[in-house]
Amino acid sequence: MAEYLTAAELGTQLRLSREKILTMARTGQIPSIRLSAKTIRFDPAAVAAAINAKKEVRP
């Protein structure tokens, strides 16, 4: 089973703030899993794939 990360843990890995991670999730830039109204988790592999796909689209 994949290990899911909190916004703070993912932010640490990506060197971004927790708030930036949550904003990216809210705007659909990175995939997230909402477990409850206040609990959101991130699959690091899915986030990496989304970021890499976005990099390939840039001119």
Judge contact between 44 and 53, C-beta under 8 A.
no
Is 45 among the domain residues?
yes
Name the domain count of the chain.
Answer: 1
Is 48 among the domain residues?
yes
The residue with greater pLDDT, 55 or 6, is 6
pLDDT at 15: 97
Is 2 among the domain residues?
no
Is 1 among the domain residues?
no
pLDDT tens digit sequence for 9-37: 999 999 999 999 999 999 999 999 999 99
* Amino acid at site 8: A
The dihedral sign for the CA sequence 12, 18, 24, 30: positive
Q: Is the pLDDT of residue 54 over 90?
A: no
Judge contact between 47 and 31, C-beta under 8 A.
yes
By C-alpha distance, which of 4, 54, 8, 9 is closest to 34?
4
